[in-house]
Amino acid sequence: MVAPAAKFEAVEPGQLSNKDRTRLDEFYRDVQKQAGTFAGYPVSGEFDYHELFRFLSYPLNNVGDPFTPCIYHMHTREFECEVLEWFAQLTHAPKKDWWGYVTNGGTEGNLYGLYLARELYPNAMVYFSQDTHYSVSKNLRLLRMPHIMIRCLPSGEIDYEDLYETLRIHRDVPPIIFANIGTTMREGVDNVGRIQSILKQLAIPESYIHADAALSGMTLPFIEGAPKFDFSAGIQSLSISGHKLIGAPVPCGVVLALKQNVDRIARSIEYVGTLDTTITGSRNAITPLMLWYAIRSQGIGGFRKTVNRCLSRAEYAVNRLNEIGIKAWRNPHAITVVFPKPAPPILEKWQLAIQGDFAHIMVMPHVTREKIDQLAADTISNPS
């Protein structure tokens, strides 16, 4: 059934009616309220981009390849390239053989990685674990890529024995491995080194590994002793979200890939006088500014402090929940705290994501110890 069209009051052009202004004010107050109990999704609520608001008055557009000249001059591609260079260094991308762009989020970054893999190996088979983000199945359908789901371990990472046996059966087809670097519900991290070992054991000569590092791509690089997952581990592309640990008012992220693979899909676009090697063509030019601002103002040291603070609070959350009889746990190096699904009022108030019989708290920068204590107190008051 189609919803009836909204009724609009007649006002002077460029003005809102009093009713519409009141509606926006009410919505703003509701957003403020909801932000106070937002703990179930990997999105940071701790950021401030007031200095960038002035740029919202102009039609900025980062159309096409960020590294090539463009006739459309109202863009932030210089800032975008600096952002990409920072992420390339963070993830040990080969100095003369990487390329990337700022995306509108992890789904686009993963789509791009799979697209490159398909162009490189048109007859390949994609392997991913059952804990992989739901959008990956959608991307695979869009790209019409054959795929096989692999079981996962209790930690959320891929079941290596199942992967080995499945790859062994299909050794005649080049494998594309979709590696999770922080799964959605349990923040399980697939061991890229172990995956590489399996490929070598089976004497598979051609393969492609894409790393979905949406969340953990901005935590693991700042944790001593964390597993390698990036280009130094042998991957060919990766995606990292910007609105998660870094924080942004709109979804965003980056995708990085080996340039030699990207060159295969480059197309020259006369209309804007540039190459387009991206998925969307016209792209958000404000989010590169936000990521640039965050990187320049925080730096490696600032992000390391943020990650350590989140890890400390995550451990506090595990201990606090266990103190009140709730069996909570987290993976090594994880800021995701997993525990049995609480009562509906808790799920609703704290906006907790669930899967089956368990839920999780995402200890992002805005999730303080006080909020963890409040959630624990609410759980005691509302037993499941």
Query: 3.90.1150.10, 3.40.50.1820, 3.40.1350.10, 3.40.50.720: which CATH number matches 18-46+307-381?
Result: 3.90.1150.10
pLDDT at 163: 98
Instruction: For residue range 308-323, list pLDDT tens digits in order.
Output: 999 999 999 999 999 9
Alpha carbon separation from 122 to 85, 207, 255, 261, 266 (Å, rounded): 30, 12, 21, 13, 17
pLDDT at 272: 45
Ranges of CATH 3.90.1150.10 domains, the chain: 18-46+307-381
**Ranges of residues in the chain whose predicted pLDDT is under 70:** 1-11, 266-275, 384
Instruction: For residue range 271-288, list pLDDT tens digits in order.
Output: 444 567 888 889 999 999
Task: Compute the C-alpha angle 248/254/259, nearest 5°.
Answer: 165
CA–CA separation, 255 and 102 (whole Å): 7
**By the 8 A CB rule, do 249 and 35 touch?**
no
Q: From the CB of residue 145, how many other CB atoms can be counted at a distance below 10 Å?
A: 18
pLDDT at 265: 72
pLDDT at 269: 44
Ranges of CATH 3.40.640.10 domains, the chain: 54-296
pLDDT at 244: 97
pTM of the predicted protein model: 0.93
Instruction: For residue range 185-195, list pLDDT tens digits in order.
Output: 999 999 999 99
The tokens describing 209, both together, are: 């590994």
pLDDT at 61: 97
Query: What kind of architecture, by CATH, is found in domain 54-296?
Result: 3-Layer(aba) Sandwich (3.40)
